[in-house]
């Protein structure tokens, strides 16, 4: 049994994390595997940032390419939440969010062909970008593609 794409992606991000120009250590981030875990516990989370990697609805699509194999696309959301209260100003928190986004895109691009269980991984698009009084958020759709032999 292979490791789920979301766990593989989250592990890659945690392993490759450097302060990424944000001043945040890996321990300054609450790493989550569900959309609701972090949001429901937002007040109790002491870290400065939350990065959740989870599946959207209908995360897997298989398209037959021939009788022998299919192209399987698996989707994941990388959701970045920052609590503005942990930064000097809201503008600083917004800058940190943008720096994390650039880092995310760079790490996935640099590792797109070597992520376990996938032939190619790429950042598709931003699906949420929002600011509120208690959090600043950006969520990105990431797609992993692989070939699967038909049985």
Q: How many domains does the chain have?
A: 1
Question: Confidence class of residue 55 from pLDDT cuts 50, 70 and 90?
Answer: very high
Q: What is the distance, to the nearest Å, from the Cα of residue 89 to the centroid of all Cα atoms in its chain?
A: 25
The tokens 């950006």 sit on which residue?
Answer: 138
- Strand pairing partners for 138? 80, 129
pLDDT of residue 13: 92
Nearest-angstrom CA–CA distance, 101 and 126: 10
Give every CB contact of residue 119 below 8 A, 6+ residues apart in sequence.
113, 145, 146, 147
- Strand pairing partners for 31? 51
Mean pLDDT of 80-107: 91
With 60 as the cut, is the pLDDT of residue 1 above it?
A: no
The tokens 């995360």 sit on which residue?
Answer: 59
Please tell me the pTM assigned to this model: 0.89
Mean predicted lDDT score pLDDT of the chain: 87
Question: Confidence class of residue 19 from pLDDT cuts 50, 70 and 90?
Answer: low
> Residue 66 is part of a domain; what is its CATH number?
3.30.2000.10
> Which residue range forms the structural domain that includes residue 99?
5-149
DSSP classification of residue 2: P
């Amino acid at each position: 049994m292979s490791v789920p794409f979301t766990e593989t992606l989250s592990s890659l991000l945690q392993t490759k994390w450097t302060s990424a120009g944000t001043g945040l250590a890996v321990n300054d981030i609450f790493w989550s595997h569900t959309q609701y875990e972090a949001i429901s516990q937002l007040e109790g989370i002491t870290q400065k940032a939350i990065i959740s990697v989870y599946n959207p609805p209908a995360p897997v699509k298989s398209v037959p390419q021939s009788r022998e194999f299919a192209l399987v696309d698996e989707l994941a959301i990388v959701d970045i939440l920052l609590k503005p209260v942990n930064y000097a100003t809201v503008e600083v928190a917004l800058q940190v969010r943008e720096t994390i986004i650039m880092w995310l895109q760079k790490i996935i691009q640099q590792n797109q062909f070597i992520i376990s269980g996938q032939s190619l991984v790429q950042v598709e698009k931003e699906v949420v970008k929002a600011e509120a009084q208690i959090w600043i958020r950006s969520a990105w759709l990431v797609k992993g593609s692989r070939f699967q032999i038909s049985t």
